[in-house]
Amino acid sequence: MVASLTAHKWKQSLEDNLILALASTSVLLLDPHKYSNEIKPFFGQDDWWAINDYIQQVFNIKRLPLPLTTTTNFLSVIEQLLNNDIDRDTSEIQLKTMPLQAKEKRMAKALANLVSKLPFVALDEDINETELCSRFVEPFLAGLFDDPAKGIYLRWTNERTLEAKANESSQSRPDLCITKCCGVNWTTSLAYGEAKPAVHSYDNYLVCKDLIRVAVFCKEALDKQLFEGILGIQIIGRMVVFYLLTLPSQGLYTLIPLANIKIPDSIQNLPALVTEAPAILKVLDVFDRLCVRAACPNVISDRYAPTLPIDSIQQLFSESKSRKRQCVLQHRHN
């Protein structure tokens, strides 16, 4: 980051330099499938792949298969609904009462929630952020993560984070968080996320700003709580991108893309989500194993690096926008 700022007289664009922006607060966006121009001066392609492989092995990050019988059962229920052999209520009950392993049961709950919320066929109308969250994103994420019996809640708060409340000078407000409670008080943050409707999907500047916010929220939570990792969630339209933020070495945080999941726009397209089960189960496995207090908290505290405030990061880069600029976060969101 320092080398880049020294080499350029004028402020650089955020879209072209997202990796450098994250590096300014000690976060490395580690995507094995994207070897951008920002990385080339510092890592050869073989080294980049080797780093990615090493981190994946250290944290045992891998896709988990969904048993064939479970896949068949999920698809069978949805097919019966599509054929009007059963109604939505019956479909929900069948999905939620299947005898499944814990992670598979959460997948079934997410499917059941979507059965109750999705239109039968896709709507032509654009949707705003509130409707996007309530009809598509909330049912999906709540099915996967919301578990009041364990004190874990998916919350659409738009309020200051637990870490920000401990620092009165900070006004950080994420769109969503996954928080654990003890008794009647919120105690730890397990995940943070930002959401935007699909109309912003080609605004690469705004998309990059949101990911920076997610990374900073996650970093502050990891530092304060001394966790192994924190889950990051970026939502643009119906595309949900999951990240894991970790601290594997001194002063170096890694932001690892876990999965890109597109929430179906209708019951007719719900079977497509079943095919994403291995990626969804990977996210759940990482969440359960790594979004916990570190076994050796002193190691995490010793590796700590200061967080550059979000406003300070943005001041390093130009506020100009252009859809023609390349961006490592470009996805199809509709």
Residue 7 has pLDDT above 60, yes or no: no
Residues 206, 188: Cα–Cα separation, whole Å: 28
> Can you give the residue ranges of every domain in the chain?
55-305+313-318
Residue 1 has pLDDT above 70, yes or no: no
Residues 170, 162: Cα–Cα separation, whole Å: 11
Angle between helices 102-117 and 68-82 (to 10 degrees): 10
Q: Which of 259, 253, 256 is nearest to 221 (CA)?
A: 253
Q: Name the pLDDT band for 157 (thresholds 50, 70, 90).
A: confident
| pLDDT tens digits for range 106-115 | 999 999 999 9
Residues 325, 12: Cα–Cα separation, whole Å: 12
Q: Decide: residue 26, CB within 10 A, 0-12 exposed, 13-18 middle, 19+ buried.
A: buried
| Three-class secondary structure assignment of 97-164 | CCCCCHHHHHHHHHHHHHHHHCCCCCCCCCCCHHHHHHHHHHHHHHHHHCEHHHCEEEECCCCCCHHH
Helix (H, G, I), strand (E, B) or coil at 176: strand
pLDDT given at position 9: 47
- 139-167 average pLDDT score: 82
Residue 6 has pLDDT above 60, yes or no: no
Rounded to the nearest integer, the mean pLDDT of the chain is: 88
In one letter, which amino acid is 207? V
Helix (H, G, I), strand (E, B) or coil at 313: helix
Q: Beta strands 12-13 and 317-318: pairing type?
A: parallel
| pLDDT tens digits for range 232-290 | 999 999 999 999 999 999 999 999 999 999 999 999 999 999 999 999 999 999 999 99
Give residue for tokens 């879209």. 15
DSSP state of 268: G
Neighbours of 203 (CB within 10 A): 17
Per the document, the length of the chain is 334
Residues 202, 332: Cα–Cα separation, whole Å: 9
Q: Name the pLDDT band for 38 (thresholds 50, 70, 90).
A: confident
Q: Decide: residue 68, CB within 10 A, 0-12 exposed, 13-18 middle, 19+ buried.
A: exposed
Residues 223, 303: Cα–Cα separation, whole Å: 9
pLDDT given at position 161: 57
